[in-house]
A and B are shown apart, each in its own frame.
Chain A
Amino acid sequence: MFKTICALLGDPVNPMISMCALPVAGGVLACLSRGRSRGALRMAVALLFGAANLVFALSLYLGGGASGALALGVQGLELRLAVSGIAALMLPFAGLLFLIVAVYAASWFHKREGGGAYMLLLFISLGMLNGALMADNLGVLLFFWEGLLCTLFGLLLIGRRENSKAAVKALALSGTADLILMLGILATARLAGSASMSEIAARPLSADGPGALGCACMLLGAMGKAGAMPFHSWIPEAASDAPAPFLAAFPGSLEKIAGIYLATRIVTDLYEFAPGSPMSLFVMVAGAVTLFFGVAMALIQKDMRRLLSYHAISQVGYMLLGIGTGLPVGIAGGVFHMMNNALYKTGLFVAAGAIEDQTGTTDLHKLGGLRRAMPVTAACFFVCALSIAGVPGTNGFFSKELIFDAALESGTIFYVAALAGAFMTAASFLKLGGAAFFSEARLPQGRRNIREARLGILIPAVLLAALCVLFGAYNALPLQTLIGPALGDAHIHAGWPENGTLVLLSSAVLLLALADHVYGRKKGGGALAAADHIHYAPGIKQAYALAERGLLDPYNWLMAAANGFSAACAWIEGGVTWFYDKAVPGLVTGTGQTLRRFWNGSVSRYLIIAVAGVACICLIFLLAALGEVAP
């Protein structure tokens, strides 16, 4: 198929360039759609261009990757694109998810304002993501990376120009991460003597010594895009009021794909990433911290969007933990978990969007009993929730087991953290499911008449849930057919996990979560309050209070530091301004005024000054006569 496309378009670089350009064209078309049928037009554009992109990506994947350079006519500057291995796998996966998300978005904006700009930016993001996945040159990668940041900022700004706090926060945090990435890229390129990833991959750099800086910076950049701590705090902020499709697309899938893709490339291709090395430890700690604290924050949320957004953070922790082990099984688990997460987290966001679409709220205090009103949505939700909780047999279970396996091998503490995360994940989803779908409805009068969601929203949800089931029931497909060859690792174990003890422990944790949920329900009086006994436990309560007030948010620390710095700068600048505006002119005019008062018009004084001047000149001559003054 790729050959056909190549034959149609000529050089292999052309289809790759079109993968960047096509989405942009689609976005422009969607944006230009006007009139009464604009919803249908957008849907058509989303389907057409999403499918075209998917076809291109699939053809690339099935063709075994490609490489090509677009010479820009300037010596030494070429736009080199190369697709192989993990990138080739990620392209169709991203294309698939994008198609689903685009359909969902077109449907979501059917009756809402602002869809045009949103679709435009969404499509451009796809182009940027494709570019980032295909880029061979680190500089080109950085270009697309920044492009992704720009579209993210734009999407967050749409419709909220007055309240742009989340957008600024995202820009600041992701921008910081991108700056660090730039630093890392510079260091890496300098160390390797080349900016081409395929060239570096031939002779990977050592992650010790001078390479540690480049490696750590690049990993931080990748983590920032994926939304790991400490670059996470814009996500809950954006979750409060961003459109639901945004949440599904960005924190849900596209950003994770980009971030984890890069992290995997760094770990497998660019650097010799030895298990147990300080760099490995660094990534694992970051992953463990992210998963633990992310889910701990998710546990206490009373709003569906915020709850899901904290999970989006927490899940990144698992992926990083897996990749950070540096073990083949861990990396495979991380990538697999990323793919699973993209499916079920997007599914969860779509379901949440459907609920919001029908009820007009995501506040769990007001929701309840939707099981009957929205059965399809509820079914999809439960499939995804079981997956994310890692119930044995689901796709999330299999990827988590791989990560647990690797984590246990790397250090017990990481395994314990991962288990604790699994416990809280399960507990929070029990709470969410119970509150939204099982308890009696608490919606205000007049909004009780809830119906099933629209077809345009249901189809993506069902598709995603089906993919989850497929990946869980037949995990050899993703693991052995897709990920294994992509990572160049033929020995990934598919099927039921080998280590029965770990499965037992995981199951025990899930049962514990269920027991805790039942206890909490009884104690708190309802599913919503099921986690309150943890929330308000002595000692933990204070920590949560601090976190809720944003005192533990690195962004706020950064901002406080930045504010302090800018205040200092302003003070210095004020001082300099004062010096030039007040002090110097004041001194000059003050001297002038003093002199002016001194020359008071008296003839005698004039004469005395003149005589004093004569004395001064005589002094010069006296010194000259004595030989004191010489050239």
Chain B
Amino acid sequence: MSSILNGIPYVFVAAPLFAFILNNAVPRERMRSHAVALSGGVAALQLAAAILGFALLAASGRGEVRFGLFWSVDAAGAAYLRVNLVSLFLLLCVGFVALASALTAAKTIDDHRCSFANLFMALLLGMNGMLLATDLFTLYVFLEITGTASFVLIAMYKSSKGLEGAFKYLTMSALATIMMLTGLALLFMHTGSLAFADLGAAALSGASGEMDILCYGALALLISGFAIKAGAAPFHSWLPDAHQSADTAVSILLSGIVIKIAGAYGFIVLVELFGDLYAVRLSVAALGVATIAFGALLALVQTHFKRIAAYSSVSQVGYILFGIAAGSPLGLVGALLHVFSHAAFKSTLFSGAAALHEQLGTLDIEQMGGLQKNMPVTGFASVTSFLSAAGVPPFAGFWSKLLILISLWQAGWIGLSAAALGLSILTGAYFLRLQKKVFFGPRNPRWDDVKEIGGTIRASQIVLSAVNLGAGLCFPLVLLYLQSIGLI
């Protein structure tokens, strides 16, 4: 058992890397038809490995598994990678969303299949690397890789809008890079190391107990950088542009997981390291409040299906930030579970967008209406995602939001938890508007002959709706588990 557990982490790096090499070693003409299937296989492998690893690690009672890629981790001062329960859970989410994205990509991506597979693997490597890293600088490097792969994926078709979205994302990311590197440099100046083990609030305050003003600056800059990457308001400007313009399969990846790994995971690390500093948690909470409100308000007035979904992602990231800001294990669990439930319902929604785009050729919700009859599966899947997002029991979103609210309450932020609860009305409002305009109401006669989508997208929609509901129904088990380890 132990040897299996020790072997599992290698999958997360080796599988995408091997797929990348295979993808480029085989002639493109031959590879073309298999590239997306290859990506899907890697995603499925990652999902399976993460589930297995999570179960084994939880059963073994070890906190983490250290490993190096073709280097020994035992030497003093040697760098190492590691997986723990948090990163395995997030690796699971990555695999899950990647699989959903690959299923959609099989239908939506015609040209550039090989490039898509290449960049997909690079993106997976970037995200996995972030989750495996044990050093802030390594985290930064893989963050940049994630970002670069995302830019290229968005711009892949070189359509005017795709390029524009990628350019905006890149420009904002450049700002984030400057912020984060400055912060890292200032931290490094103070501590002499950027390994998680050497960092922490205690390390910053030093012997005198007084913290250097530069360290405060460094933390502020790091938080700003991650906020840009996470699309937290008011740094979210790039997010809807980029997510709207990308291919839907890419949008699933970006909205479903990239913003959470690139942004929210950064916050998780920061709060874990520096959570003792009240200002860190406070600024994350402030970002959370602004993000939920701005995202929901802006989602309410959009007319493009994917843009609504993108703003909804902004809004939901706010809830994740809330959970992280609570700074308690329960808050972290809530945030992680919300990452999962959001990944599930946002993938569902974007699969719906892919279906609508394939069948209708447009995503302007003003032109839609009454499509429930034509596309019952899409409509039903969309309803499950809506219910999960609005936090209606027993869907998955309800439970994760509930845990987040409880953790906020426990952290003494009663006003914030009330705000989170109140703002979730807006979530319901914009999703209801979307449902009404797209699936209910009178049908535009233009769409009389529209048929339901088939193939992998339909399969992914059915599976994802089942996950939305099934995860919620299984949630009491999760609660029991949490109770058994003393979190609730």
Q: Are A603 and B211 in contact (CB under 8 A)?
A: no
Q: Which among A611, A614, A629 has the greatest number of chain B C-beta atoms within 10 A?
A: A614
Q: Are B227 and A625 in contact (CB under 8 A)?
A: no
Contact of B234 among A592, A596, A603, A610 (CB under 8 A): A610
Stretch at the interface among A267-275, A344-352, A615-623: A615-623
Q: Does B241 contact A (CB under 8 A)?
A: yes
The residues of B that contact A630 with a CB separation of less than 8 Å are 278
Q: Are B220 and A592 in contact (CB under 8 A)?
A: no
Q: Are A624 and B297 in contact (CB under 8 A)?
A: no
Contact of A589 among B234, B287, B300 (CB under 8 A): B300
The residues of A that contact B286 with a CB separation of less than 8 Å are 616-617, 620
Instruction: Return the 3 tightest CB-CB contacts between A and B, nearest first.
Output: A624-B279, A592-B301, A606-B237
Q: Does B6 contact A (CB under 8 A)?
A: no
Q: Does B294 contact A (CB under 8 A)?
A: yes
In the bound assembly, the distance between CA atoms of A613 and B278 in angstroms comes to: 19
Report if A599-B297 is in contact (Cβ < 8 Å); known contacts: A620-B279, A621-B283. no
CB distance from B293 to the nearest CB of A (A): 9
Q: Does B412 contact A (CB under 8 A)?
A: yes
Q: Does B171 contact A (CB under 8 A)?
A: yes
Q: Are A610 and B213 in contact (CB under 8 A)?
A: no
Q: Does B235 contact A (CB under 8 A)?
A: yes
Q: Are A603 and B223 in contact (CB under 8 A)?
A: no
The residues of B that contact A617 with a CB separation of less than 8 Å are 220, 223-224, 227, 283, 286-287
The residues of A that contact B233 with a CB separation of less than 8 Å are 613
Q: Does A500 contact B (CB under 8 A)?
A: no
7 contacts between A and B (CB under 8 A): A605-B237, A610-B237, A613-B233, A617-B227, A617-B287, A620-B282, A625-B216
Contact of A607 among B172, B298, B302, B429 (CB under 8 A): B172
Q: Are B217 and A591 in contact (CB under 8 A)?
A: no
Contact of B179 among A588, A614, A624 (CB under 8 A): A614
Q: Are B297 and A621 in contact (CB under 8 A)?
A: no
Q: Does B219 contact A (CB under 8 A)?
A: yes
In the bound assembly, the distance between CA atoms of A591 and B423 in angstroms comes to: 14
Give chain B interface residues in 274-309, CB to chain A under 8 Å.
Answer: 277-279, 282-283, 286-287, 294, 297-302
Q: Are B171 and A606 in contact (CB under 8 A)?
A: yes
Report if A625-B237 is in contact (Cβ < 8 Å); known contacts: A592-B300, A617-B227. no
Q: Are A588 and B237 in contact (CB under 8 A)?
A: no
Q: Does B83 contact A (CB under 8 A)?
A: no
The residues of A that contact B241 with a CB separation of less than 8 Å are 601
Contact of A624 among B282, B426, B429 (CB under 8 A): B282
Give chain A interface residues in 571-598, CB to chain B under 8 Å.
Answer: 588-589, 591-593, 595-596
Q: Does B82 contact A (CB under 8 A)?
A: no
Q: Are A621 and B220 in contact (CB under 8 A)?
A: yes
In the bound assembly, the distance between CA atoms of A592 and B289 in angstroms comes to: 16
Quick one: closest A residue to B302, CB to CB?
A: A596
Q: Does B350 contact A (CB under 8 A)?
A: no
Contact of B301 among A593, A606, A616, A624 (CB under 8 A): A593
A contact set with B: CB distance below 8 Å: 588-589, 591-593, 595-596, 599, 601, 603, 605-607, 609-614, 616-618, 620-625, 629-631
Q: Does B175 contact A (CB under 8 A)?
A: yes
Q: Are A588 and B220 in contact (CB under 8 A)?
A: no
The residues of A that contact B216 with a CB separation of less than 8 Å are 621-622, 624-625
In the bound assembly, the distance between CA atoms of A192 and B171 in angstroms comes to: 85
Give chain B interface residues in 227-283, CB to chain A under 8 Å.
Answer: 227-228, 233-235, 237-238, 241, 277-279, 282-283
Q: Which among B167, B217, B234, B287 has the greatest number of chain A C-beta atoms within 10 A?
A: B234
The residues of A that contact B224 with a CB separation of less than 8 Å are 610, 613-614, 617-618
In the bound assembly, the distance between CA atoms of A605 and B220 in angstroms comes to: 21
Report if A618-B217 is in contact (Cβ < 8 Å); known contacts: A588-B297, A610-B235. yes
Quick one: closest B residue to A620, CB to CB?
A: B283
The residues of B that contact A613 with a CB separation of less than 8 Å are 224, 227, 233-235
Q: Are B234 and A612 in contact (CB under 8 A)?
A: yes
Quick one: closest A residue to B430, CB to CB?
A: A592
Quick one: closest A residue to B179, CB to CB?
A: A614
Q: Are A592 and B171 in contact (CB under 8 A)?
A: no
Contact of A592 among B223, B227, B235, B297 (CB under 8 A): B297
In the bound assembly, the distance between CA atoms of A592 and B234 in angstroms comes to: 14
The residues of A that contact B294 with a CB separation of less than 8 Å are 595
Q: Does B221 contact A (CB under 8 A)?
A: yes
Q: Does B32 contact A (CB under 8 A)?
A: no
Q: Are B171 and A607 in contact (CB under 8 A)?
A: yes
Report if A588-B277 is in contact (Cβ < 8 Å); known contacts: A617-B227, A625-B216. no
In the bound assembly, the distance between CA atoms of A101 and B167 in angstroms comes to: 97
Give chain B interface residues in 294-352, CB to chain A under 8 Å.
Answer: 294, 297-302
Q: Which among B217, B278, B300 has the greatest number of chain A C-beta atoms within 10 A?
A: B300
Q: Which among B171, B219, B237, B238 has the greatest number of chain A C-beta atoms within 10 A?
A: B237
In the bound assembly, the distance between CA atoms of A614 and B234 in angstroms comes to: 9
Q: Are A629 and B279 in contact (CB under 8 A)?
A: yes
In the bound assembly, the distance between CA atoms of A169 and B151 in angstroms comes to: 77
Q: Does B168 contact A (CB under 8 A)?
A: yes
Q: Are A596 and B217 in contact (CB under 8 A)?
A: no
CB distance from A610 to the nearest CB of B (A): 5
The residues of A that contact B223 with a CB separation of less than 8 Å are 617
CB distance from B318 to the nearest CB of A (A): 14
The residues of B that contact A606 with a CB separation of less than 8 Å are 168, 171-172, 237-238
CB distance from A608 to the nearest CB of B (A): 10
In the bound assembly, the distance between CA atoms of A592 and B277 in angstroms comes to: 34
Known: A606-B171, A617-B287. 13 other contacts (CB 8 A): A592-B299, A595-B294, A596-B302, A599-B237, A607-B175, A611-B175, A613-B224, A613-B234, A613-B235, A621-B217, A621-B220, A629-B278, A629-B282
Report if A610-B429 is in contact (Cβ < 8 Å); known contacts: A624-B278, A631-B412. no
Give chain B interface residues in 45-81, CB to chain A under 8 Å.
Answer: none
In the bound assembly, the distance between CA atoms of A232 and B278 in angstroms comes to: 75
Q: Are B298 and A631 in contact (CB under 8 A)?
A: no
The residues of B that contact A601 with a CB separation of less than 8 Å are 241
Quick one: closest A residue to B240, CB to CB?
A: A599
Q: Are A603 and B412 in contact (CB under 8 A)?
A: no
The residues of A that contact B228 with a CB separation of less than 8 Å are 610
In the bound assembly, the distance between CA atoms of A238 and B171 in angstroms comes to: 85
Quick one: closest B residue to A625, CB to CB?
A: B216
Report if A591-B297 is in contact (Cβ < 8 Å); known contacts: A601-B241, A607-B172, A613-B227. yes
CB distance from B209 to the nearest CB of A (A): 13
Quick one: closest A residue to B233, CB to CB?
A: A613
Quick one: closest B residue to A585, CB to CB?
A: B429
The residues of A that contact B297 with a CB separation of less than 8 Å are 588, 591-592, 595
The residues of A that contact B279 with a CB separation of less than 8 Å are 620-621, 623-625, 629
In the bound assembly, the distance between CA atoms of A588 and B298 in angstroms comes to: 9
In the bound assembly, the distance between CA atoms of A164 and B75 in angstroms comes to: 99
Q: Which among B220, B241, B298, B299 has the greatest number of chain A C-beta atoms within 10 A?
A: B220
Q: Are A592 and B298 in contact (CB under 8 A)?
A: yes
In the bound assembly, the distance between CA atoms of A26 and B234 in angstroms comes to: 81
Report if A603-B298 is in contact (Cβ < 8 Å); known contacts: A610-B228, A614-B224. no
CB distance from B464 to the nearest CB of A (A): 28
Q: Are B175 and A589 in contact (CB under 8 A)?
A: no
CB distance from B307 to the nearest CB of A (A): 10
Quick one: closest A residue to B211, CB to CB?
A: A625
The residues of A that contact B277 with a CB separation of less than 8 Å are 624
In the bound assembly, the distance between CA atoms of A620 and B228 in angstroms comes to: 17
In the bound assembly, the distance between CA atoms of A68 and B429 in angstroms comes to: 63
In the bound assembly, the distance between CA atoms of A624 and B278 in angstroms comes to: 8
In the bound assembly, the distance between CA atoms of A603 and B287 in angstroms comes to: 21
Q: Are A588 and B234 in contact (CB under 8 A)?
A: no
The residues of B that contact A593 with a CB separation of less than 8 Å are 301
CB distance from A299 to the nearest CB of B (A): 67
The residues of B that contact A589 with a CB separation of less than 8 Å are 300-301
CB distance from B459 to the nearest CB of A (A): 35
Quick one: closest A residue to B213, CB to CB?
A: A625
In the bound assembly, the distance between CA atoms of A510 and B178 in angstroms comes to: 114
CB distance from B258 to the nearest CB of A (A): 18
The residues of B that contact A614 with a CB separation of less than 8 Å are 179, 220-221, 224
